[in-house]
Amino acid sequence: MESPTSPASRLDFYDFIGRMRRPAAADLFHSIRRSIRLSLRPHLLLALAPCPEWPCGSNSDLRFNYCSFLVSLSQGEPNAEEDGGRVQTFFAEMETAIRDHPLWARATNQEIDHALEGLEKYIMTKLFDKTFASSAEDVRTDIEISEKIGLLQHFVRPHHLDIPKILHNEAAWLLAVKELQKINSFKSPREKLICIMSCCQVINNLLLNVSMSNDRTLSGADDFLPILIYITIKANPPQLHSNLKFIQLFRRETKLISEVEYYLTNLISAKMFIVNVNGRSLSMEESVFQAHMESARFGNHISVSGTSTSSQGLGTSTTGLNQESGDTEGLFLTSVDQFV
């Protein structure tokens, strides 16, 4: 499976950096400067200055032009939606500039896409601290969701979500959990999205394998979403709300299509299910649901800081699954790099 840290994933970034080191890229930097000043707010620009590692090297003029873009995004109060719109505008303008630039005159569409991926990774990694969980409300929501999942982990089981026994596969579920839990290990929207895609591909492959083995169709949302909800509860991915919001706002809009959009939308739906969950959602009486929640609270297993409590939710079953999951990884994981 193509991971965010694989050589293929790093190629986009380093190819972009390599081309931008060339003197012939000077005019493109001027174009970047103009677009940045017009597109981005001051509070984000300051987040990236000074930026001595910018690939222009000793060319202080070009470095200043680029940094002025970054500085324009970092003054003032954060506004994620507004910043997201400005960043999207910047990416669209840079796509036009790159396509028209002599350095990419003979480039294929794939090579241009690689350059844009490199640009997105560079920009968003630098802006991460100013754009990820940038408001107190986002931080509070992340903590509330994580604490709620920590409670649900104590009593929610597959039958509460009407997951048929034919789809009970702890090895595949554990693999999906591990993929989703990686999401906070990366700072670029694409790399975070790859973690989601990898998790969802494990689930989708499970459905396909069961379908082929039992001559029945199990690939629709009615089968997929309940498993994803259960995986999300088991994983308790850190800062789930902020990660989803970050991807929606700062991943290039042209890449949030087709299968990528489907999987992202399903994880958003899983999050909303968890936020609004009640007894009826889990096929139990509301009084029973509330009793379970109170019992979990008094069990003193809540993470006050919002840190994942997934090891509790996985219970004793994970001990016996670690070795088995290694044998099944090739079966359940397929490359998602082409989609994101």
Show me where the domains of the chain are located: 7-131, 136-332
Distance CA 279, CA 90 (A): 46
> Distance (Å, rounded) from C-alpha 190 to C-alpha 195?
9
What would the mean pLDDT of 71-87 be, rounded to a whole number?
74
Rg from Cα positions in the chain: 22
Give the pLDDT confidence score for residue 276 in this predicted structure: 98
Helix (H, G, I), strand (E, B) or coil at 300: coil
Q: In this predicted model, which residue has the larger pLDDT, 23 or 229? A: 229
The larger pLDDT score, comparing residue 90 to residue 174, is at: 174
Structure tokens at 16: 């972009």
Residue 51 has pLDDT above 70, yes or no: no
Q: For residues 304 and 310, give the distance between their C-alpha atoms in angstroms, rounded to a whole number.
A: 14
Of the chain, the end-to-end C-alpha distance in Å amounts to: 13
The strand pairing partners of 43, in sequence order, are 73, 74
d(CA 200, CA 224): 9
Given a cut of 90, whether residue 189 has pLDDT beyond it is yes
Nearest-angstrom CA–CA distance, 121 and 32:
15
Write down the pLDDT at residue 290: 96
pLDDT for res 126: 82
pLDDT value at 220 more than 70: yes
Average pLDDT (310-323) is 39
Q: Is the pLDDT of residue 226 over 80?
A: yes
Whole-number Å distance between alpha carbons of 321 and 323: 6
**Which tokens in the block code for residue 146?**
């994580």
324 within 8 A of 171, measured Cβ to Cβ: yes
Report, as an integer, the average pLDDT of 223-252. 97
CA distance 240 to 141: 9
Instruction: Classify burial at 46, counting beta carbons within 10 Å of its beta carbon; exposed 0-12, middle 13-18, buried 19 or more.
Output: middle
Rounded to an integer, what distance in angstroms lies between the CA atom of residue 41 and that of residue 227? 41
Contacts with 34 (C-beta within 8 Å, 6 or more apart), sequence order: none
Output the average pLDDT for the chain. Answer: 78
CATH for 136-332 (1.20.1050.80, 1.10.3720.10, 3.40.50.720, 3.90.550.10): 1.20.1050.80
Tokens of 135: 């408001």
pLDDT tens digit string along 87-144?
898 888 888 888 888 887 888 999 899 889 988 998 898 889 889 998 999 999 999 9
Instruction: Please tell me the pTM assigned to this model.
Output: 0.76
What is the percentage of the chain residues whose pLDDT exceeds 70? 64
The DSSP result for 159-198, as a single string, is GGGT--GGG--HHHHHHHHHHHHGGGG--SHHHHHHHHHH
Please name which of 37, 44, 38 lies closest in space to residue 70, comparing C-alpha atoms. Answer: 44
Per-residue pLDDT band for 55 (boundaries 50, 70, 90) equals very low
Q: Is the pLDDT of residue 42 over 70?
A: no
Among 15-29, 205-219, 264-278, where is mean pLDDT lowest?
15-29
The answer to whether residue 63 scores a pLDDT higher than 90 is no
